[in-house]
Structure 1
């Protein structure tokens, strides 16, 4: 390892220890609404990212999640699928949290309007101030403030692996409702493609304490069949890193 690389590694280790000494345990809470501030404390994370010389998104990937480049790899896959080439004029993101997918999405396209539904107020305020997005009132399973068929791209990353079955299911219907004909719906879930026996053993032995709804699973075909009834067809699916294993990103397109 280079001297610079070694120094960076030492710094990251030190930042982790600082968070620990400050009393921050980076785990997901039992709050089924999935507020990111429950497990990624705003002030401490901002300070730690600055100390590590990283953007907040890269800090979450590299230090907190231990998966450098994970967010960018998903964005690269979506670019290759032509998602951003469609030039979405309106984007809606459920649970953007620290904004790591939001930031990289805005580097790929320039929507006229970007709506967010985020239950953690400090992070929502930060995203509004930093990226001039529109924060909608959030109940935790509804997109009621957004009109029918008004959004070109609806996305949620690392959300539906953390909430209950009913919460995720309610959001699915809402996502289809607000997406315009020809628009896309993108989200990731932990499907059977992510759960071979070896991976299940890894989650059981190395996946941390977890909680009542994390990590949450969802059958792939269940998603495909449901969205088909809502006029949305599956365009693609690919695996993306999550925790000690992976999750599956599904890309749907709503019928014109």
Structure 2
């Protein structure tokens, strides 16, 4: 939840209202490249989580997203699918943001190396200090610092519904490039499965002009067909809650 995208800015008004009720104010970070800290201020969020007696991830699920347990539910589904069973030694996450999926992933496996690509410097620094992950330099939609074919698990959660179609597609090429044969690629997108008429109506009317770029839809078959050309087959999929609707989590395996 921390990749670059214009959709990040449109979330700020709603989160600002939520933080306002708790006595916080949202401000733009001066040390940020357009990531999650634009709408999820580091210090205020950490303070609110501590006062609530919750982890940062559980606080975001319960208070800010209104879906308690949503992150854990996704991790549980991935566990049931055997994503962590092989004990991935190298994990890469795009846009971990507050680290709510990262933290729970580390409870499922013990990789030797966990790389992150996060544009919000305060959150990236926090994740490095708290979880000893490796923060890679971020530039555009590239994973250039990571070499070809060496990552066991590549994941991104609540990222690709906030960026443009082409930005997401560029990340897809990169994800396939860095994944080793037999490795997994996990991410969620807002496919047509998630866009029933009632959901579209709510998205279109609840946010006013702010929802011009978020949420960004992605045709499901486009993902499947593109990854097939990259030697990756769809293993499974399931829905995960997001706001008034859902996103579809896709699990791909790179052919050996």
TM-score grouping bracket, smaller chain normalisation: 0.7 to 0.9
Aligned to 1:172: 172
Matches within 5 A, 1:41-52: 41-52=41-52
Any conservation in 2 of the 1:239–1:247 contact (CA below 8 Å)? yes
Distance apart, 1:25 and its partner CA: 8.0
- Aligned Cα RMSD in Å? 2.0
Q: Which moved more, 1:149-158 or 1:198-207?
A: 198-207
Aligned to 1:71: 71
Which residue, 24, 27, 41 being the options, matches 2:26?
24
CA distance in 1, matches of 2:143, 2:131: 20
> Equivalent residue of 1:129, what SS?
helix
Q: TM-score, normalised by structure 2?
A: 0.88
Provide, for residues 150-181 of structure 1, a one-character-per-residue CA deviation record: whole Å limited to 9, x for no partner: 10000000000011112111100000000000
Q: TM-score, normalised by structure 1?
A: 0.88
Distance apart, 1:108 and its partner CA: 0.3
Distance apart, 1:206 and its partner CA: 3.1
Aligned to 2:133: 133
Provide, for residues 34-92 of structure 1, a one-character-per-residue CA deviation record: whole Å limited to 9, x for no partner: 61111111011001111111100001111111111100000000000000001100000
Q: Do the aligned partners of residues 65 and 25 (structure 1) sit closer, same or farther apart at CA in structure 2, a change above 3 Å counting?
A: farther
Provide, for residues 94-123 of structure 1, a one-character-per-residue CA deviation record: whole Å limited to 9, x for no partner: 000000000000000000000000000000
Distance apart, 1:209 and its partner CA: 5.6
Q: Do the aligned partners of residues 190 and 48 (structure 1) sit closer, same or farther apart at CA in structure 2, a change above 3 Å counting?
A: same
Aligned to 1:8: none
Q: How many residues align?
A: 237
Any conservation in 2 of the 1:119–1:140 contact (CA below 8 Å)? no
Distance apart, 1:216 and its partner CA: 0.4
Aligned to 1:9: none
Distance apart, 1:23 and its partner CA: 2.8
CA distance in 2, matches of 1:255, 1:161: 26
CA distance in 2, matches of 1:126, 1:119: 12
Aligned to 1:147: 147
Matches within 5 A, 1:32-111: 35-111=35-111
Distance apart, 1:211 and its partner CA: 4.1
Distance apart, 1:197 and its partner CA: 0.7
